Amino acid sequence: MANQSNSRPAKRSGGINATFLGAVFLGICILISGINIGGGVRKLNKTIEEKAMASTNTVNVPSDMNVAQKKYLTEAEAGEYLNLSTEKIVELIRNGEITEYVETATGYSISLSVLDDWFDNEAYQNKLRSNASSVPSDTETPEE
């Protein structure tokens, strides 16, 4: 008869405890890497959102222009300031609606106060036109 003690596997010390500690260590590593990846994704999303917001700026003021510090604007800046095209600003100058400007070699320089006055007057005129069109006529011409 053969010795059966040789066929049994040797017992390892700390079997369950070592397996448990290994699983806990692996879980902690997975958790840390997940946090790092999540932080990177959040940072990437924030960057993408900032770029998207910058490209869809609803205010058409040029980013390099601080209106409060400028007294005179080019026709392109004036157009962006009033939310009009550059061609419309040039048309207003040529039609005489904007009368105070300086013609330079590269275009026109227009005072910010002149633009504000024109805009206020245009808004006032539009309001008068809309009120005049909405008021019914009381006086009728008598027929003879």
pTM of the model: 0.44
- For the chain, the structural domain boundaries read 17-56, 67-132
Structure tokens at 90: 């040039």
Structure tokens at 3: 């010795």
pLDDT score of 87: 92
User: From CA 17, how far away is CA 23, in angstroms rounded?
Assistant: 10
| Amino acid code (one letter) for 88 | K
User: From CA 52, how far away is CA 56, in angstroms rounded?
Assistant: 6
Per-residue confidence band for 2, with pLDDT thresholds at 50, 70 and 90: low
Pairing outcome for strands 107-111 and 72-74: antiparallel
User: From CA 142, how far away is CA 144, in angstroms rounded?
Assistant: 6
Cβ-based neighbours of 3, under 8 Å, separated by 6 or more: none
Domain at 67-132: CATH code: 1.10.1660
Per-residue confidence band for 144, with pLDDT thresholds at 50, 70 and 90: very low
**Interval 35-89: pLDDT, tens:** 888 777 788 778 887 777 666 555 455 555 555 567 888 888 888 888 889 999 9
